[in-house]
Structure 1
Amino acid sequence: MDISWAMRMYARSFRGALDCRCILYLGSLNIMPAPTIPYAPRYVPGPATKEDMDWADLPIIDFSKVGTPEGRAELTPAMRDGMHTHGFVYIINHGLTQPQRDRMFDIADVAFAQVPEDEKKQFTANFKETGLYSGYKLRQYWHIDNGVRDQIEHFNTNRQIYGRDIYPKALQPFLPEMRAFAEYNHYNILHPILRLLALGMELPEEIFVDMHKFEAPGETWLRMMKYYPRSEEDETNSKNVWLKGHTDFGTITILWSQPVTALQILSHDGKWRWIRHIDNALVVNIGDAMELLSGGFYKGTIHRVVQPPADQRGRERLGVFYFALADDGVRLVPRVESPVLQRVGVQRRVADGDAPTMETLRRARTAAYGTSTLKRRADGHEEEELAGMTVKHFN
Structure 2
Amino acid sequence: MPATTLPPVPRYTPPPTTTESLEWADLEIVDLSKAATPEGRAELAPRVRDIMRTTGFMYVVNHGLTHAQTERIFDIGNVFFTQVPDEERLNHAAKIAEEGSKIGYKPRQLWTIDNGVRDQHEQYALHRTIFGQQKHPKAIEPFLPELRAFSEHNHYNVLHPILRMLAIGMELPEDTFINMHNFDGVGDSHARFIKYHPRTAEDEAKTNGVWLKGHIDIGTVTILYSQPVAALQILSPDGKWRWVKHIDNALVVNVGDAIEMLSGGFYKGTIHRVVQPPEDQRGHTRLGTYYFALTDDDVKLVPLTESPVLQRTGPGIVRKCDDALAPTMGEWRRGRVKTYGFTEMTKRADGNEEQVINGIVLKYYN
Structure 2 length-normalised TM: 0.97
Structure 1 segments unaligned to the other structure (5+ residues): 1-29
Equivalent in the alignment of 1:356:
327
The residue correspondences of 1:103-114 to structure 2 (distance < 5 A) are 103-114=72-83
Q: d(CA) in 2 for partners of 1:242 and 1:161?
A: 29
Letter in 1 for 2:158: I
The CA distance in 1 between the partners of 2:49 and 2:95, in whole Å, is: 37
SS at match of 1:304: strand
- 1:186-335 matched pairs, under 5 angstroms: 186-335=155-304
Task: Choose which of 53, 70, 80 in structure 1 pairs with 2:39.
Answer: 70
Q: Distance in 1 between matches of 2:240 and 2:262?
A: 27
State the AA in 2 paired with 1:163: G
- CA deviation profile, 1:164-211 (whole Å, cap 9, x unmatched): 343111111111111110000000000000000000111111100111
Q: Which runs of 4+ in 1 moved over 4 A?
A: none
**Aligned pair 1:346/2:346, yes or no?**
no
Identity of aligned residues (%): 60
Q: What residue in structure 2 maps to residue 366 of structure 1?
A: 337
Q: Distance in 2 between matches of 1:184 and 1:160?
A: 12
Q: CA deviation at 1:110?
A: 0.2
Q: Distance in 2 between matches of 1:60 and 1:291?
A: 22
Q: CA 1:339–1:126 in 2, change beyond 3 Å: closer, same or farther?
A: same
Deviations 1:322-359 (A, max 9, x none): 00000111111111111212233311111111111011
Rounded Cα–Cα distance in structure 1 between residues aligned with 2:69 and 2:265: 36
Paired residue secondary structure (1:66): helix
Contact 1:256 1:281 (8 Å CA) reproduced:
yes
CA distance in 2, matches of 1:146, 1:366: 21
Q: Give 5+ residue unaligned stretches, structure 2.
A: none
Aligned to 1:25: none
Task: Compute the displacement of 1:109 (Å).
Answer: 0.1
In the alignment, the residues of structure 2 paired with residue 106 and residue 253 of structure 1 have an alpha-carbon distance, to the nearest angstrom, of 21
Asked if 2 retains the 8 angstrom alpha-carbon contact of 1:161 and 1:175, the reply is yes
Given the alignment, which residue of 118, 122, 127 partners 2:96? 127
Aligned mates of 2:121, 2:22 — CA distance in 1: 24
1:145 deviates by 0.6
1:50-129 equivalences in 2 (<5 Å): 50-129=19-98
Q: Secondary structure at the match of 2:36?
A: coil
- The two structures, once aligned, show a CA RMSD in angstroms of 1.1
Which amino acid in 1 is paired with 2:176? I
3-state DSSP of counterpart to 1:365: helix
Return the offset for 1:388: 2.0
Q: How many residues in Structure 1 have an aligned counterpart in Structure 2?
A: 364
In the TM superposition, residue 316 of structure 1 has moved relative to its aligned partner by 0.5
Q: How big is each residue's C-alpha offset from its partner over 1:122-142, in whole Å with a ceiling of 9 and x where there is no partner?
A: 111221111111211000001
In 1, Cα distance between equivalents of 2:229 and 2:136: 27
Is 1:142 the counterpart of 2:111? The answer is yes
**Contact 2:97 2:337 (8 Å CA) reproduced:** yes
Instruction: Determine the C-alpha separation between the residues in 1 that align with 2:129 and 2:62.
Output: 25
Task: State the alpha-carbon separation in 2 of the partners of residues 178 and 70 from structure 1.
Answer: 31
Contact 2:127 2:134 in 1 (8 A): no
Partners of 1:356 and 1:388 within 8 A in 2: no
State whether residues 134 and 166 of structure 1, in contact with CA within 8 Å, keep that contact through their aligned partners in structure 2: no
Q: Does 1:380 align with 2:351?
A: yes
Q: In 1, distance between residues paired with 2:165 and 2:35?
A: 9
The one-letter code matched in structure 2 to 1:371 is F
